[in-house]
Chains A and B, each alone.
Chain A
Amino acid sequence: MTGALMNQIVQPPTRALSLATEGITKIFGAMRALDDVSVQVEAGSFHALLGENGAGKSTLVKCIMGFYEADAGSVLLDGARMSLHSPRQAQARGIGMVYQHFTLVPCLTAAENLVMARSDAPSVINWRAETRALEAFMDRMPFRVRLDAQVADLSAGEKQKLEILKLLYLDQRFLILDEPTSVMTPGEADEVLTLLRGMAERKEITVLMISHKFREVKAFCDSFTVLRLGRVTGRGDAQASSVAEMSRMMIGETTLRERAPRQSRARGQPRLTLDKVCASDETGRRVVDHVSLGIASGEILGIAGVSGNGQSALVEVLAGQRPMTGGGLMVDGTPFSPRRTQLDRFKVFGLPEEPLRNAVVPRMSVAENIAFRRFDKPPLAGRLGLISPSRIRAEGAALIRRYNVKTSSADAPIETLSGGNVQRAVLARELSGDVDVLIVANPCFGLDFASVAEIRAQIMDQRNRGAAVLLISEDLDEILELSDRIAVMSEGRLGPAAAVEDTNRAEIGRQMGGH
């Protein structure tokens, strides 16, 4: 009888793993990416790893996953020291990661992706047997994805779900998620995080989530660790700590720039008008579907939306990088097309996303890049179109100083600059004159807090000076901070714009999900 009682008291072994790092240090050349980092993640917990861009979060998890070898320190899995040299080894031990960029193969189906992810995938695959096993697996899962769908046809949210399903399929018991909800609607994010939290509470998995969204951390996590410049600057109980405490640990004592004062003005005639603009992608699918909007002087219209709903395509149409298949653009009531003479005449300027890819020529110098708007006009261009490199350099140097672009010289190729400085150079080029229409896309992606604050202040400054600003961003916080009016883009269509005080996060989330 005592034996039966004992059996009842003994807890079933937990599947969830616990993980701890002790004194991890990683050095890249002259930079200390991680300095003596020790993190404890209890089995079955939902642990948040906080920090701003460049704090070392990605580096830390790559050390755990075996992408990098730490220069000092060790990783303990369930108390046992382990040394991992490759992601495959981490996978074998039960550690899995969902990355910020997708690691699914677009041309393969969901089923093919899942089977190929296994380290014991057979040399010759019997699809009938595998499909049967996969169906059985899907039945056990709280959310599912169509097995025969080609990954290229899935939405970003479905892809992210498939990434998580992949980890569960591989029987991973310590899940690392890198900003998992950045490509999901608020509804999808809540669905996935709730389910993962449930599994963690049942001790089936342990979750380590990299995030910068305090709201999610407070809603789903039980503990957190904060990194800043490669060092641990704080840890604690996510439910007990306040957002203010967490953000102080993230950015130190520097005060966050106050939201720039907003000059109110009566809304006049629209300066920039889009009338039923349409565009398609290479496969003929319509990605911008009859988008219409109007922006007046001195206002910021923010377009919110999850990545992949046509925002990038819309920006490309405005920038002349993608042909418009229908509709029209107008500035001040006159038809407009993004050609150089018209850009100058209507004083239209732009800060595209991913500046290295869209706004600058990497191998040309910083001074030359800054001269892109003016190289074919006097004073830089003389008679017969002859240009003077020394004048370009001098003008560039002046703007570099004015906008604090950190570069070894005005002649350095712009690809040698850090992300924040490339964006500053683009600002120097686009915002140093009179701006009537400004088109901004994801301006602060991947930048440090200081650069982010500076850039947002510049945008607000242009708005106060009377520019009509179109702000497209996948960062909802950014949209809410800067916009006067907000519209939501979903599946290529733009919803009606609402004043920022007339809408809220929940409403926007609903529209992002396509109602």
Chain B
Amino acid sequence: MSTDLLIVFYAMIGGAIRVSTPFLFVALGECLTEKSGRINLGLEGNLILGAMVAYAVSYNSGSPWLGVLAAGAAGVVLGAAHGWICKLPKVNDIAIGLAFMSLGTGLAFFFGKPYIQPSAPRLESLPIGSWSQNPQVQQALQVNPLFFVGIALAFALWWALRNTRAGLTVRMVGDSAASARAMGVNINLVRLLATAAGGFLAGVGGAFLSLSYPGSWNEGLSSGQGLMAVALVIFARWNPLRCVLAALLFGAAGALGPSLQAVGVTYGYHFFNAAPYILTLGIMIASARSKSAAQEAPRELSIVK
């Protein structure tokens, strides 16, 4: 019995890391975008399109890392389009996000049909669990290098937002557009670049889904992860380092179901699948009227104005 518990424990850790990686990338991307004062609800579309592009490019070229880059590129295109459209007057940026979500998903499903069956080269994971004798534990502790890339990115972003001119400019644009304008900063350009960079990261997150875990392309790959990342960023109070912790928390919630299934617990698996959504809703309620969230929110963000 205790080996079962141990297996669940390691499965949770490995699962948390695995499931959290796409959340981490999308959250960091959305964090950067929102720091500049823009909200991008279309990241779900970036995620799904990125997953498909990564898989397709990996299949056709044989190199999964090329797939990752291609996914990022697709994300940049969607993000830049979002950033460019939102600068037009009278455009509703929340609705635009929904439109990109539906367009990204549509394009991904349209072009992705031929890739559902074939098997593309996947990203190799690092075998962190090689110290264990138990093959299940070894299996559980396979960690993708992208996870470490994500953590490094989080630190880099956190540092840059405080110590570089570019980072402080982004914060300025997101907190007080009037001040930025008075200093001659091109607000629309900064937001466009931030949204494009955010799109890149979301695309990379999508690549992880199709090339690492779950590791295949199909139309049910993501359901709402992109949107949950927006809630995650609010929960992390727009701090890249807290985004890492929040992503791990979400990853743990998402790993609960599969971990229990690994030891044969299948009852109520619907609720375990719903766990991330329930968790997200819970933290949204908790952080909604939170005083610290009010203090740390970028003041130009439309949902907190």
Contact = CB atoms under 8 A, between A and B. Distances in A.
- A associates with B: yes
Contacts, number: 65
A117 B185 CA distance: 11
B220 to A, nearest CB: 40
Interface in B268-305: 289, 291-292, 294-296, 298-299
Contacts of B139: none
Interface in B169-184: 169, 171-172, 175-176, 178-180, 182-184
Given A99-B182, A103-B182, A107-B171, A152 B164 contact: no
Indicate the size class of the contact surface on chain A: 20 to 34
B299 A106 contact: yes
Given A105-B175, A105-B179, A106-B176, A112 B165 contact: no
Interface residues of B, number: 24
Interface stretch (A30-38, A122-130, A429-437, A472-480): A122-130
A125 B294 contact: no
Interface in A247-297: 282-284
Interface in A34-93: 86-88
Given A105-B171, A108-B175, A116-B169, A124 B164 contact: yes
B165 A121 contact: yes
A63 to B, nearest CB: 15
A103 B165 contact: no
B180 to A, nearest CB: 8
Interface string A445-458: 00000000000000
A108 B168 contact: yes
B163 interface: yes
B66 interface: no
Contacts of B180: 105
B166 interface: yes
A123 B164 contact: yes
A476 to B, nearest CB: 26
Count chain A CB atoms within 10 A of each CB in B163, B295, B298, B299 and give the residue with the most: B295
Given A87-B184, A88-B184, A105-B171, A282 B291 contact: yes
A107 B173 CA distance: 11
Contacts of B182: 87, 99, 103
Contacts of B168: 108, 112, 116, 125
A104 interface: yes
Given A101-B178, A105-B176, A283 B184 contact: no
Nearest to A66: B184
Count chain B CB atoms within 10 A of each CB in A99, A107, A124, A283 and give the residue with the most: A107
Interface string B60-84: 0000000000000000000000000
B299 A108 contact: no
Nearest to A153: B295
A116 B164 CA distance: 10
B301 to A, nearest CB: 12
A102 interface: yes
A430 B299 CA distance: 33
Given A87-B183, A125-B165, A103 B178 contact: yes
Interface in B78-111: none
A322 to B, nearest CB: 13
B296 A116 contact: no
Contacts of B176: 102-106
B166 to A, nearest CB: 7
Contacts of A107: 171, 175, 296, 298-299
A121 B295 CA distance: 27
B179 A125 contact: no
A86 B291 CA distance: 38
Contacts of B163: 124-125, 127
Given A87-B184, A103-B182, 18 more contacts: A87-B182, A101-B178, A102-B179, A104-B176, A104-B179, A106-B175, A112-B168, A116-B165, A116-B183, A117-B183, A123-B164, A123-B165, A123-B166, A124-B165, A127-B163, A282-B294, A283-B292, A283-B295
23 contacts: A87-B182, A101-B178, A102-B176, A103-B178, A105-B171, A105-B176, A105-B180, A106-B176, A107-B171, A107-B296, A116-B168, A116-B183, A117-B183, A122-B165, A123-B165, A124-B164, A124-B165, A125-B163, A125-B164, A152-B295, A282-B294, A283-B294, A283-B295
Which 8 pairs across A and B sit closest by C-beta, in order of nearness?
A282-B294, A103-B182, A88-B184, A103-B179, A107-B175, A284-B291, A283-B291, A105-B172
